Every structure is written in C-alpha cells, then in structure tokens.
Amino acid sequence: MRGKFITFEGPEGSGKTTQARRLLARLEKDGYSVLYAREPGGTPTGEAIREILQYDKAGEPICRETEVLLFAASRAQLVRHVILPALESGRQVVCDRFADSTTAYQGFGRNFPVEQMLAINEFAINDANPDLTLLLDVEVSLGFERLTRRHAATASTWDRIEREERAFHEQVRRGYLELARRWPERFRVVDAGRDMDVVEQEIWGHVRRLLG
C-alpha cells in the first residue's frame, strides 16, 4: 500500500521544522516507517541549489524566474529520487515545505503569475501530490520575534528570504491562506501562535484521521 505524503507549510517562524520533527517522532513511536525530507534540498543536487537560494552562493542577484526554476529543479530531484520511492514502498513521508512554498513565496510574494507557478510545480512534482498539508499560520510580527530569538541563541545569520521586507512576508502569509481556501480538502490551517505542545496535539489529530 502506498504511504501518505504529509507536508508542512507556513511563514517564517511558524515552527514548521520543530513540528515536523515532533510528528516524525510520534509516527515512529507508533510503529510507522517514516521518511523526513526538507525543501529546498534532500539530495546532493538539491543541497547545492539550497546554498544558492538561501545563502547567495552564486554571488549575484537572482531574478524571480531563475528563483522559481531553481526551486522546481530541486523539487523534481527530491520527488524522483527520494519521495516517490519512499511512498511506493509504503513509507509515510513528512516534508518540511513543498510546492506550496514556491507558490506562496514566489507567486504571491514576488508577484510571479500564480497560475504559471502552479503549472511549473505540477511539472516538477509528477504525481507526488500531498495527501495532507499542515499550514502553520502565525502573524508575521510574532514569527519574526521568534526568528530574532533563534538567531541570537544560535549566533546564526539571516538567510536571503528572511532578510526580505516585512511587506513581502505579509504577502506570503496572505498567499498561504488563499491556497488553503482554494484546496480545503488538502489543507488544514493550524494556529501556530499557541504553545508548541497544543499545536502538536492538533497536528496529531489531523494526521491520525488521515492514517485511519
């Protein structure tokens, strides 16, 4: 039996990675065979693209068309080499960001034509459509408070996307909510401004219903 594909989406500072890893641990504890993936990245080619997209490794400004195609290239590699083989072997796949991120960030955030963005995503992912997308929604101001604390605690640098103007991130959030309205059968919007344990419990409820 094919496994289920669960994706985590949301604005910066919404806790996607934390909650994705918590879900991974709960699934493993319950005896499921699980694969964790992240975007961009997850393959040697994808990780090289990630360095360009997040940390300016190319040393030049990236136009929005190039940005879109780089994300799609990384995604195509991840889908064909990692995600589809895992699903077809019966494993559950938990992915930290997927195609909806590009639609929200580059489509709505960068004003790239959204319908064109959706077509590019469809080409990149083949038939690896998520069974469940958990949208961790948080106000941009709170998300950036969390980011500031995290970078201070870890002495890490802000990546290229995090450095964008707040107006850009507000557009991204609005884009995510629009996608959730467009595909309510797949999206579950979770208020990520609450305590992490409360958020985890709600997520677990959605996943248990998916897995039956």
pLDDT at 58: 78
Name the pLDDT band for 205 (thresholds 50, 70, 90): very high
pLDDT at 157: 87
Taking 90 as the threshold, does the pLDDT of residue 35 lie above it? yes
Name the pLDDT band for 171 (thresholds 50, 70, 90): very high
pLDDT at 164: 93
pLDDT at 204: 98
Choose between 155 and 25: higher pLDDT: 25
- Strand-pair category, 187-191 with 5-9: unpaired
Please tell me the total count of domains within the chain: 1
Amino acid found at 154? T
Span 75-85, pLDDT tens digits: 999 999 999 99
Give, in degrees to the nearest 5, the angle at Cα 50 between 48 and 56.
95
Tokens of 201: 């419990």
Span 37-64, pLDDT tens digits: 999 999 999 999 999 998 877 788 899 9
Cβ contacts of 188 within 8 Å, gap of 6 or more: 132, 133, 134, 135, 206
Average pLDDT over residues 168-177: 98
pLDDT > 90: percent of the chain: 92
Q: Which CATH number is 154's domain given?
A: 3.40.50.300
Domain that holds residue 96: 5-211
Amino acid found at 157? T
pLDDT at 127: 86
Span 93-114, pLDDT tens digits: 999 999 999 999 999 999 999 9
pLDDT > 70: percent of the chain: 100
Q: Could you give phi then psi for residue 133, rounded to 5 degrees?
A: -120, 120
- Whole-number average pLDDT of the chain: 96
N-terminal to C-terminal alpha carbon distance within the chain: 14
Span 121-158, pLDDT tens digits: 999 998 899 999 999 999 999 999 999 999 999 988 89
Q: Could you give the C-alpha distances from 30 to 33, 35, 111, 180, 199, in angstroms and in order?
A: 9, 14, 42, 29, 19
What's the chain look like in SS3? CCCCEEEEECCCCCCHHHHHHHHHHHHHHCCCCEEEEECCCCCHHHHHHHHHHHHCCCCCCCCHHHHHHHHHHHHHHHHHHHHHHHHHCCCEEEEECCHHHHHHHHHHHCCCCHHHHHHHHHHHHCCCCCCEEEEEECCHHHHHHHHHHHHHHHCCCCCCCCCCCHHHHHHHHHHHHHHHHHCCCCEEEEECCCCHHHHHHHHHHHHHHHHC
pTM recorded for the entire structure: 0.95
pLDDT at 57: 79
